[in-house]
Amino acid sequence: MAQNIVRKPDYSDLDLDFIAHPTTGDVVKKTGVDAIKRSVRNLILTNFYDRPFRSYIGSNAQKILFDNINIFTATFLRDAIAEVIRNFEPRVRLPDTEMNDNGIEVSVDPDQNGYNVRITFIIVNRGEPATINLFLERLR
């Protein structure tokens, strides 16, 4: 009788902080949930045309941050983040909620001239939720 072995994939990626491993001197890898969180963060911070030959990847959140700081811009930002996650990160799934926020909360912080973003998503094949907290502000 054959046994089915269920294996959870261990996602891995390079740590873009380029921290050297203390023993080997190689670049440290991010694994598991940390690798996925880093990937989602990178997608959000990528503008269109930032990646050569793949100009369609990005959220254009940096461009949205130069609009007036108000609740309408926060809504545009939330929609842009949801779209880039749905289109380019197959390892996560945004939860469907009755309030249609898709697990993405964007709050305006006018004193700091930016937006507090909290993204809650479910990792595919694991079923465990993960949360990312970001502060997005425009850079000159």
Tell me the per-residue pLDDT of 110-128, one tens digit each, with 9 for 90 and over. Answer: 899 899 999 999 988 777 8
CATH architecture of 12-137: Roll (3.10)
Domain boundaries, the chain: 12-137
Residue-level pLDDT at 107 = 93
State the average pLDDT for the chain.
84
Residue 106: strand pairing partners:
117
Residue-level pLDDT at 97 = 62
Residue-level pLDDT at 136 = 92
* Full-model pTM: 0.81
Give the integer Cα–Cα distance in Å for 100 and 88: 20
For 57-71, b where at least 16 C-beta lie within 10 A, e where not — what string? bbbbbbebbeeebee
Highest mean pLDDT range out of 28-42, 50-64, 75-89? Answer: 75-89
Of 115, 124, 122, 132, nearest to 37 by C-alpha is 132
